[in-house]
């Protein structure tokens, strides 16, 4: 986007009630957004849908501003910026602007849809939360950024698992960036912002809007290569996200649950509509292949004995990290490798134990 046009786009966005459709209408009618700004009132009012409120908003902004056009703040993406993901602009309702904080180097990955969305209920059962956390770990170990909404339940557990495995979480918020919802996610939101990316369609200082949480679903789905629906009831915003994924032809995976589990009635229903059943996190990783942030490959002939020795009859992620002195990312990669080989199995609460099968474990 040309610098002058970019600044005028931002200036028009500060007029109450002006969005991307109105800006496009003004630019088409007057040839440029600058010309539209200085157009006489009667010419503006001649446009379909333009009323006195737009003129009043323009005039009030003009009186308050020390200079025009207004400068665009840092860490704001506008529609024609090179970093803006094309998939977002192809939506029926593309964003007029995106506000972000965190690692800007991740935007090229989102332009190429190189992230996996994990979605589900805010009131997920322990089963759903455990699944979301294990997905976060597995995807992080495979080098895939995990994108979700930072809401309670499935979203938070997916982000937490990703962080614990040294991965890259990306959160699309339903509030402005400086707000935290729910409030007890303050630490989690800060961690995501440091290690990954926080994205919002809501401008700083914008009031909380109930519909914004459902509206943001289209953004996180559009930027994803595939979507995993973990658990949700019949009435859930996650079902809207699943419908968007289906309409955008994104691969949709669903974690099955008991048929009489009310908290999974909505997600189970997608299994009858063509979604793919996900029975194990490694199934997803194998289907996706290595992610864009995959760490260096394990040696050709790894010796898993140190991990198995540290594991004993079973151990948590934190305990293994202390015993082996490995980074979260390196440990997550080894755990995923051992799980894929059938040597260990995952337990609730980010714990693992040796898998007692007829498969011979390699020895030192």
In terms of domains, do 90 and 158 share one?
yes
* 229, 82 contact by CB (below 8 A): no
- Tell me the pLDDT band of 298, cut-offs 50, 70 and 90: very low
How far apart are alpha carbons 84 and 69 in whole angstroms?
22
In terms of domains, do 116 and 236 share one?
yes
Q: Looking at residue 309, what is its pLDDT?
A: 86
Query: pLDDT tens for residues 222-281?
Result: 999 999 999 999 988 899 999 999 999 999 999 999 988 998 999 999 999 999 999 999
**Per residue in 118-127, is it b (16+ CB within 10 Å) or e — as a string?**
bbbbbebbeb
In terms of domains, do 173 and 319 share one?
no
Residue 23 placed within a domain:
yes
Nearest to 306 by CA among 352, 353, 364: 364
pLDDT higher than threshold 70 for residue 165: yes
Residue 79 placed within a domain:
no
CATH number of the domain bearing residue 316 = 1.10.10.10
pLDDT higher than threshold 80 for residue 356: no
**How many distinct helices (H) and strands (E) make up the chain?**
18, 12
Reported in sequence order, the residue ranges of 161-308 that DSSP labels E, i.e. its strands, are 169-173, 197-200, 226-229, 252-254, 276-277
Q: Looking at residue 299, what is its pLDDT?
A: 42
39 beta partners: none
Residue 219 placed within a domain:
yes
In terms of domains, do 181 and 267 share one?
yes
Q: Looking at residue 155, what is its pLDDT?
A: 97
**Range(s) of the domain holding residue 106:** 86-288
How far apart are alpha carbons 159 and 262 in whole angstroms?
24
Q: Looking at residue 312, what is its pLDDT?
A: 86
In terms of domains, do 165 and 273 share one?
yes
Residue 342 placed within a domain:
yes
Residue 234 three-state SS: coil
CATH number of the domain bearing residue 229 = 3.40.50.450
Say how many domains are in the chain.
3
Residue 299 placed within a domain:
no
In terms of domains, do 101 and 236 share one?
yes
Residue 22 placed within a domain:
yes
Residue 131 placed within a domain:
yes
Mean confidence (pLDDT) of the chain: 91
350 phi and psi angles, rounded to 5 deg: 55, 50
Average pLDDT over residues 293-321: 74
């Amino acid at each position: 986007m040309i610098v002058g046009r970019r600044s005028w786009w931002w200036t028009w966005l500060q007029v109450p009630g002006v969005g991307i459709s109105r800006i496009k209408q003004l630019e088409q009618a007057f040839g440029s957004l600058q010309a539209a700004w200085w157009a006489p009132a009667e010419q503006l009012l001649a446009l379909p849908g333009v009323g006195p409120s737009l003129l009043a908003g323009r005039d009030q902004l003009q009186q308050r501003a020390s200079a025009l056009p207004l400068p665009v703040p840092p860490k704001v993406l506008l529609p024609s910026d090179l970093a803006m993901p094309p998939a977002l602009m192809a939506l029926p309702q593309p964003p007029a602007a995106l506000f972000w904080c965190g690692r800007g180097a991740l935007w090229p990955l989102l332009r190429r849809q190189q992230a996996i969305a994990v979605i589900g209920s805010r009131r997920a059962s322990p089963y759903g939360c455990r699944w979301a956390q294990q997905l976060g770990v597995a995807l992080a170990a495979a080098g895939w950024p995990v994108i979700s909404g930072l809401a309670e339940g499935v979203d938070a557990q997916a982000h937490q698992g990703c962080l614990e495995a040294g991965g890259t979480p990306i959160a699309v918020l339903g509030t402005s960036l400086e707000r935290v919802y729910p409030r007890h996610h303050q630490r989690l939101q800060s961690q995501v912002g440091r290690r990954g990316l926080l994205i919002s369609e809501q401008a700083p200082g914008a009031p909380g809007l109930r519909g914004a949480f459902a509206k943001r679903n289209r953004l996180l789905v559009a930027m994803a290569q595939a979507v995993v629906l973990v658990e949700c009831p019949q009435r859930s915003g996650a079902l809207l996200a699943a419908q968007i994924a289906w309409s955008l032809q994104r691969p949709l995976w669903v974690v099955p649950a008991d048929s009489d589990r009310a908290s999974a009635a909505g997600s189970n229903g997608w299994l009858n509509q063509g979604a793919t059943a996900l029975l194990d996190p490694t199934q997803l990783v194998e289907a996706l292949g290595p992610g864009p942030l995959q760490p260096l490959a394990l040696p050709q002939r790894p010796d898993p004995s140190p991990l198995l020795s540290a594991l004993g009859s079973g151990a948590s992620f934190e305990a293994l990290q202390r015993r082996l002195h490995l980074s979260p990312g390196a440990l997550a990669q080894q755990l995923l490798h051992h799980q894929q080989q059938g040597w260990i199995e995952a337990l609730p609460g980010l714990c693992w134990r040796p898998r007692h099968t007829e498969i011979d474990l390699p020895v030192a």
